[in-house]
Structure 1
């Protein structure tokens, strides 16, 4: 299984709360298709908006098992589609997180390849800038480094700093166990106000 046992099954929301860090990406970055789940170590790509040449190079450079994390400046172009998806799957890449646009949503869903993007667009791209790789990139307002753990689901996406990942996962385990106890008490008739000191700690 690995990849921290697929982030131990935790949701993006749980990991964000457990981290205590600004790891949650901008809510505008969403899954391209319903039910997509992203989980894996980042391989970072600095591209140029409206140009997808860097993504073609990244597919060849990224190690198997990695998630491509690409900064395309939020550009509203279809930087990624069915052809790149098939190429990425053949290389063992497990997903894409991109601050920019993509296309071919139905085809990507049929292939089962998780993509999280800022928008869905059919605007064409050029192929001029070969890209910069394994450098820090800013995606959805969060700086991501190669090796950081990326998790995305229906609620959003997070990027957990590699040095802190195990601690965050342990905190998430504890948080889920605590919430399980709270749910049991709520089903027994207790109120949320009884179970939390104040509204600030309620959090939901």
Structure 2
């Protein structure tokens, strides 16, 4: 599958976005080391402490999407191994949730990318159906359906759908420029010299 972010990191996308990308609150981070995800958002508005909306989202979201769920930052394990397996069977790429998750070791073994505010064993109810395809607030950022969501070791970045192509093109150019800088630095040029920075 083609990487929706062209392989670019969150840092590169954020720096290349001309201030159009939004960095999610760093308290919301990868739940296991090495997790990485990039794809269009399928938004979920639920209720903290209840995970019925996530069960419904797994059955509803199109393959190739990233679930982005607002669960009010609740300290409950809204998502675990069973939902991860179900999501993988449906072709869902990963989950970004403003709330808690559990079974992180099992999901690391599955390779299911997971970004959350908390890791906790506290259980949930299954009473609130939730809403899909609406703007949601996750980690202080408003995410709309179809926005590009990218998560890696440095955090989560959201690029508005209308700015994706421009941002990716700028990220391509930035990586090329960084490779030139690295090549020069490896020959002994200092960063002060390369960037024309004052020495004192």
Report the TM-score, using the length of structure 2 for normalisation: 0.94
Taking the TM superposition and a 5 Å limit, the aligned residue runs for 1:43-122 are 43-122=42-121
Large movers: runs of 4+ above 4 Å = none
Q: What residue in structure 1 maps to residue 8 of structure 2? A: 10
Q: Which runs of 5+ in 2 are unaligned?
A: none
Task: List runs of 5+ in structure 1 lacking aligned partners.
Answer: 200-204
For residue 90 of structure 1, report the CA deviation from its aligned partner: 1.4
CA RMSD of aligned residues (A): 1.3
Query: Kindly tell me: are residues 80 and 138 of structure 1, through their superposed partners in 2, closer, same or farther at Cα, counting changes over 3 Å?
Result: same
Structure 1 window deviating more from structure 2 (22-31 vs 70-79): it is: 22-31
Number of residues of Structure 1 aligned to a counterpart in Structure 2: 197
In the alignment, what sits opposite 2:129? 130
Does the 8 Å contact 2:21/2:158 carry over to 1? Answer: no
Kindly state the Cα deviation for residue 196 of structure 1 after the two structures are TM-superposed.
Answer: 2.2
Shift of 1:171: 0.4
- Report deviation, 1:21: 2.6
Distance 1:143 1:198, change over 3 A: farther
Deviation at 1:22, TM superposition (A): 4.7
Q: Please report how far the alpha carbon of residue 172 of structure 1 lies from its aligned counterpart in structure 2 after TM superposition.
A: 0.4
Normalising by structure 1, what TM-score? 0.93
Q: Which has the higher strand share?
A: 2
Structure 1: distance between partners of 2:196 and 2:139: 33
